[in-house]
Amino acid sequence: MKILDKYILKKFLQNFFGAYIILTIIFIFQFIWMFIDDLAGKGLDLGIILKFLIYNIPGLTPLVLPLTVLLASILTFGTFAENYEFAAMKSTGFSLIRAMRPLIFFMIILSIVTFFINNNLIPAAELTTFNLRNNIKKAKPALAITEGAFNDLDMYNMKVDDKYGENDRFLKNVVIHKNSKDNKNYTVIKAKDGELLSSEESNILQLILKDGYYYEDIKSNNPKKRENYPFAKAYFDTYTINVDVSGFNNEDLDEVKIDNTFKMMNVTELHQAVDSIEDGYKNNMNQFGENLLKRSGFQDINTNIINKIDTTKVQDFSKINSLIALVDPVKRKQVIDIALNSTSNKINTLNGKKGDYAIRKKMLNKHIITFNNKFSLSVACMVLFFVGAPLGAIIRKGGLGLPIIISMIIFLAYHFLGMFTDNFSEDGSISPALASWIPTLVMLPIGIYFTDRASKDRPIADWYKYYSPFTRLFKKIFKALNSL
């Protein structure tokens, strides 16, 4: 490798790793702010919190890496052009493409590493993070209670409007459904306030409820008395519930249990999951269609008509406008009502299945999007390099001012375009396989255009071509006015 190639690669790597570290720290702080309420002041060890941060660093790659490549490219070549180093390179016979050659090799290696991170490291980190959070909730029951939603806690299903105080031990507006042995809800407990008391030495979690009511449906052995819906109601000042958390506190925070979500899969697993979900989706839809057709009786309609209609009384079938005309006038209303009810039931069934199939289709599309994202990110890093490097040579500005602004504008366009296409592809508005590649495909002609302009030492656009006709027109107008 020539000395100049080493120099270019050295400058780029300095900017690359500097930008990567800074951007990673920024996004980590964003993550901390998102989960500060779930982590801070909950009695968690510092090591557990650090695990959260470390495990989430690989997941930042789709955000950090494209922006890092773009920013490092603009900074490196912008500095070369601003300090006339690029002009000196050209004087020795180095073209823009020749100067980019060592970086192109580096970007090829980076694309391979990016695919490895996306395919292996991120799924492993997602799996570990998910299970760590899940196990912490079991080890710390107060964390398992989410405000405004029902939460399973041993044999109880509990909802609270608010948690406050030290370690969120105090609860507001508590509603509890007690699960019976036959998995039915006969008991409901409501309280204005509650408090969680636990001890490291004890496996019992005490839930102290204050100022509430206890409702219980009484199950009668006499079937006739069940129709009366008897129930018991009692008011209490204080009511204590003891929950056995021995199974919770024995949780291994590093134990792996759940590993079947699409974010935790590599390319091979995603491919198998897509095939499985797609086959299940098609088979379920075909089976539903066949059952609906059988239930409609449409297949037997010709046989029924032939058997039930006296064809000898019908002189000319061509004069009959509808099948209802063949039915006895006395029974027509009854037949119409049956047909309307049957049609209404079929429509309700279809509407109910429509939502189910929409969820299945959305899950299938998410798997396909994730599968294609494994590859598109690697290609996007290469494409964004060809956008940033020539753009830096064109604008001829280094430092942390204009290059940061330009790189942020381009990255936000790339990022939000990716978000929009992913959202549209989830419901099938556009192909999910294409959605992952659209931002890269949009940036590709921009990179080719910038590279061509920079290689020819031309600005981004020949603005003179666009405003020169207007300049000549205004000159003629002013000249005519002055001659008057």
pLDDT, residue 35, reads 66
| Boundary of a domain, candidates 249, 282, 301 | 249
pLDDT, residue 364, reads 86
DSSP state letters, 31-86: HHHHHHHHHTTS---HHHHHHHHHHHTGGGHHHHHHHHHHHHHHHHHHHHHHTTHH
Q: Is residue 256 part of a domain?
A: no
Total structural domains within the chain: 3
Q: Is residue 464 part of a domain?
A: no
Local confidence band at 82 (pLDDT 50, 70, 90 cut-offs):
confident
Identify the residue with better confidence: 116 or 206.
116
Local confidence band at 159 (pLDDT 50, 70, 90 cut-offs):
confident
Tokens read off for 148: 């405004």
Same domain (yes/no): 348, 439: no
pLDDT, residue 455, reads 82
User: Residue with structure tokens 């710390």?
Assistant: 140
**Which range among 251-255, 286-290, 427-431 shows the weakest confidence by mean pLDDT?**
251-255
Same domain (yes/no): 133, 151: no
Identify the residue with better confidence: 142 or 14.
14
Query: Which range marks the domain in which residue 453 is found?
Result: 3-138+378-458
- The percent of residues above 90 in pLDDT, for the chain, comes to 10
Same domain (yes/no): 325, 407: no
Same domain (yes/no): 18, 124: yes
**Which range among 109-118, 284-293, 385-394, 409-418 shows the weakest confidence by mean pLDDT?**
284-293
Question: In the predicted model, what is the mean pLDDT of the chain?
Answer: 77
Q: How far apart are CA 249 and CA 140, in angstroms?
A: 8
Query: How confident is the model over 59-76, as pLDDT tens digits?
Result: 888 888 999 999 999 888
Same domain (yes/no): 363, 385: no
pLDDT, residue 259, reads 44
Model confidence at 208: pLDDT above 60: yes
Range of 117-131, 156-170, 441-455 with top mean pLDDT: 441-455
Same domain (yes/no): 16, 98: yes
Same domain (yes/no): 309, 344: yes
Local confidence band at 442 (pLDDT 50, 70, 90 cut-offs):
very high
pLDDT, residue 298, reads 57
User: Residue with structure tokens 């790597």?
Assistant: 13
- The percent of residues above 70 in pLDDT, for the chain, comes to 74
Same domain (yes/no): 353, 420: no
User: Residue with structure tokens 């405003």?
Assistant: 467
Query: Which sign does the torsion angle of CA 401, 407, 412, 413 carry?
Result: positive
Same domain (yes/no): 12, 92: yes
| Boundary of a domain, candidates 215, 249, 283 | 249
Same domain (yes/no): 123, 178: no
Q: How far apart are CA 214 and CA 237, in angstroms?
A: 11
pLDDT, residue 183, reads 64
Helices 438-455 and 332-395, interaxial angle, to 10°? 20
Identify the residue with better confidence: 194 or 220.
194
- The 10 Å CB-count burial string (b at 16+, else e) for 94-113 is bebeebbbbbeebbeebbee
Identify the residue with better confidence: 283 or 198.
283
Same domain (yes/no): 66, 7: yes
pLDDT, residue 107, reads 92
Model confidence at 144: pLDDT above 70: no
| Boundary of a domain, candidates 221, 249, 277 | 249
Q: Is residue 480 part of a domain?
A: no
Range of 43-52, 88-97, 312-321, 404-413 with top mean pLDDT: 404-413
Mean per-residue pLDDT, 228-254: 65
**Which range among 173-182, 299-308, 334-343, 362-371 shows the weakest confidence by mean pLDDT?**
299-308
Same domain (yes/no): 186, 103: no
Model confidence at 112: pLDDT above 60: yes
pLDDT, residue 468, reads 66
Local confidence band at 229 (pLDDT 50, 70, 90 cut-offs):
low
DSSP state letters, 325-361: GGS-GGGHHHHHHHHHHHHHHHHHHHHHHHHHHHHHH
Tokens read off for 158: 């509990």
Tokens read off for 237: 């000042």
Query: How confident is the model over 365-397, as pLDDT tens digits?
Result: 888 888 898 899 899 999 999 998 888 888 877
